[in-house]
Amino acid sequence: MTFPKVMPLGDSEIIQQKLGIAIVGLGEYSTDRIIPALHQTNYCGLEAVICGKDHDKKQVADSYHVRREQVLHYDEMDTLCRNDAVQLVYIAVPNSLHCKYVLKAAAAGKHILCEKPLAPTVKECAEMVAACKEHGVRLYTSYRLQFSPYHQEISRLGTTRVLGKVKHIQAANSIHLEAGSGWRLDKELAGGGSLLDVGIYLVQACRYVTGEEPVAVKASVQNKRPDVFKEVEDTVQWEMRFPSGAIADCTCSYSATDSFITVEAEKGAFSLDPAFTFEGIQGRVNKEAMKFPEVMPEALLLDHVAYSILYKAPSPVNGTEGMKDIRIIAAIYRSIASGKEERL
């Protein structure tokens, strides 16, 4: 697993090339993170927004500094697909709708950046990857933390064995959801619960810290609030075994607020706490604090993807990478169902 590098900046001829982006889905993440991030990019420009009919087009246009005709409703996706100014479509709808919109955008010749998880199932992921290949467009998975300097550092420490071989990883990522928390509690829309939503960050982190793919998983589930979680899982605990002998113990939940990763190696330890939050990540190597500037990873992600498209450069946040995580998550779900270790 290779981390993305920051693309060259500063050449006026390069900066003049902008990629037109359309955002499909105007939820909290789009409004609070992606649209603000776009204003920090060098290679991107907002060309269109697709939202539900509960949004007033004029209000959306005024809020995000686009023309009214650049705001569309979901049933106007065909209009977006015919817009030559749109080269990249950012898919930010509930998980189970990812495949539908990716296939439509790919058939229209648009490159795609899809929110994580790429899709709830391996079958859908494979269909999305195949469709993008067939139509000659690029598919990317929105892994923002691959652009965090703190996460890049723990990957470097682990894969280059600065403190020796990684022996054990303890990681947790949780958010606290209440009843009425929207689509995340709806199995049909979400495709799953905390594992697909916040647990995927742990799968990613363990892979890029070890530089390896897990060979086996064993998992269990706990529902701490059955009155809230009637359709999706609440808390999942699982173990991942790696070829080198490293073991990762992970926990994700919709009933807690933990966010950390601790890595024990042969000659010491390193950690992030908090680790998976939007802001305020802090890290330590043994007892020494990591010191990196605060960045907005989404802006770096968008510029990386735009640069990759404009200059046909490879990207480690491609669709196949997103599908690898879903294969592992599918094995975790199988282990929950069987009560046994599942091999990959």
Residue with tokens 């054990």: 168
pLDDT at 34 over 50: yes
> Which tens digit of pLDDT belongs to each residue from 262-292?
999 999 999 999 999 999 999 999 999 999 9
The listed CATH number (3.50.50.60, 3.30.360.10, 3.30.479.30, 3.90.1170.50) that belongs to domain 149-292: 3.30.360.10
For residues 158 and 164, give the distance between their C-alpha atoms in angstroms, rounded to a whole number.
Answer: 8
pLDDT at 175 over 90: yes
Give the model's pLDDT for residue 17.
73
Domain layout of the chain by residue ranges: 12-144, 149-292
Cis peptide before 214 (omega within 30 of 0): no
For the chain, give the mean pLDDT: 95
In 3-state terms, the chain is what percent helix, strand and coil (to 5)? 40, 25, 35
Pairing of strands 247-253, 166-174: parallel
Give the model's pLDDT for residue 342.
98
Query: In DSSP terms, which residues pair with 22 in a beta bridge?
Result: 48, 89
Give the model's pLDDT for residue 202.
98
Domain 12-144 has CATH 3.40.50.620: no
When pLDDT is averaged across residues 171-198 and rounded to a whole number, the result is: 97
pLDDT at 6 over 70: no
Which residue type, as a one-letter code, is found at position 244? S
> Which tens digit of pLDDT belongs to each residue from 298-340?
999 999 999 999 999 999 999 999 999 999 999 999 999 999 9
Give the model's pLDDT for residue 293.
93
Going by the DSSP 8-state scheme, the letter that residue 85 receives in this structure is T
> Which tens digit of pLDDT belongs to each residue from 39-78?
999 999 999 999 999 999 999 999 999 999 999 999 999 9
Q: Which of 3-7, 95-99, 232-236 has the lowest mean pLDDT?
A: 3-7
> Which tens digit of pLDDT belongs to each residue from 189-203?
999 999 999 999 999
pLDDT at 10 over 80: no
Instruction: Grade residue 2 by pLDDT with cuts at 50, 70 and 90.
Output: low
Report the candidate in 183, 202, 185, 201 with the shortest Cα–Cα distance to residue 193.
Answer: 185
Which residue type, as a one-letter code, is found at position 183? W
Strand order in the sheet with 88-91: 71-73, 44-51, 19-24, 88-91, 111-115, 139-142
pLDDT at 97 over 80: yes
Question: Is the CB of residue 106 less than 8 Å from the CB of residue 132?
Answer: yes
Residue with tokens 């080198």: 244
113 CB-near residues (< 8 Å, 6+ apart): 88, 89, 90, 91, 140, 141, 142, 301, 302, 305
**Burial status of residue 146 (CB atoms within 10 A of its CB: 0-12, 13-18, 19 or more):** buried
When pLDDT is averaged across residues 247-256 and rounded to a whole number, the result is: 98
pLDDT at 5 over 80: no
For residues 223 and 204, give the distance between their C-alpha atoms in angstroms, rounded to a whole number.
Answer: 24
Instruction: Grade residue 15 by pLDDT with cuts at 50, 70 and 90.
Output: low
Q: Which helix (H) or strand (E) holds 125?
A: helix 122-134
> Using DSSP, how many helices (H) and how many strands (E) does the chain show?
13, 15
pTM of the model: 0.95
Instruction: Grade residue 11 by pLDDT with cuts at 50, 70 and 90.
Output: very low
